[in-house]
Amino acid sequence: MKKNLFLVAGLAVAMFATSCDNNSTTGNEAVAENTATEATAQPIENPNVAPAATEDQAAPSENAPVMSFEETEYDFGSIKQGESIEHTFMFTNTGKTPLIIESASATCGCTVPDWPKEPIAPGETGKVAVKFNSTGKMGQQQPTVTIRANTQPNIVRVALKGNVESSSIPAAGASGPVRRN
């Protein structure tokens, strides 16, 4: 009985070992096919990533608008939780063509940017107003506003930074809410 069991187990292992590789190509042929496929593959164009500079690419246009900020970071110091901060970032179009801001977005919902929707002529100034609401925030904060315009490069960032301290209003304790008179 044991002899038949070993015979059946041996045949099963032999069949499994010989039937695993049904691929008719050898290892070298498979490597050659993969190399040929990789050589013909086209690179993926990602509009969010700046391409690497090469010699055959044209340099940025001399006539492109340029967004020159007086400051790109504003330190609002320390504020109490729940207070709001407003700051205006002033800029000048130092390029040779009109500057058009396509969009401005913040890193979180606590920060709201307001930007000019009309084109800024060369030599004119504009402003990006930023409001930061510290409700629900605590500690060091650095909200950033990303501005997309027809400049080269087309993304510019400005930021607020500072510290949000806890409010003086006591919170609920272990024995329940705190009563204020």
Chain segment 90-135, per-residue pLDDT in tens: 999 999 999 999 999 999 889 999 999 999 999 999 999 999 999 9
- Kind of pairing, strands 84-93 and 125-133? antiparallel
14 is a domain residue: no
For residue 9, report the phi and psi dihedrals to the nearest 5 degrees.
-65, -40
Total domain count, the chain:
1
Residues 35/61, Cβ–Cβ less than 8 Å: no
CA 6, CA 153: separation in Å to the nearest integer?
73
Task: Tell me if 46 is assigned to some domain.
Answer: no
In-domain check, residue 47: no
Q: Answer yes or no: is 39 within a domain.
A: no
Domain interval for residue 100: 67-165
Closest CA to 132 of 165, 180, 87, 98: 87
- Which pLDDT score, from 0 to 100, does residue 27 have? 52
Alpha helix locations (H) across 20-143?
27-40
Q: Dig out the tokens for 135 from the structure.
A: 């409700």
Q: Which residues contact 171 (CB under 8 A, 6 or more apart)?
A: 178
Cα 87 to Cα 42, 65, 138, 147: the distances in Å are 46, 24, 20, 15
Q: Is there a cis peptide before residue 153, judged by omega within 30 degrees of 0?
A: yes
Rounded Cα distance, 143 and 117, in Å: 22
In a domain, 141, yes or no: yes
**91 found inside a domain:** yes
Q: What is the pLDDT of residues 128-178, one digit of tens each?
A: 999 999 998 999 999 999 999 998 889 999 999 999 998 765 556 666 666
51 in any annotated domain? no
Q: What is the domain-level CATH number for residue 84? A: 2.60.40.10
Task: Output the pTM of the full model.
Answer: 0.60
Q: Say if 28 falls within a structural domain.
A: no
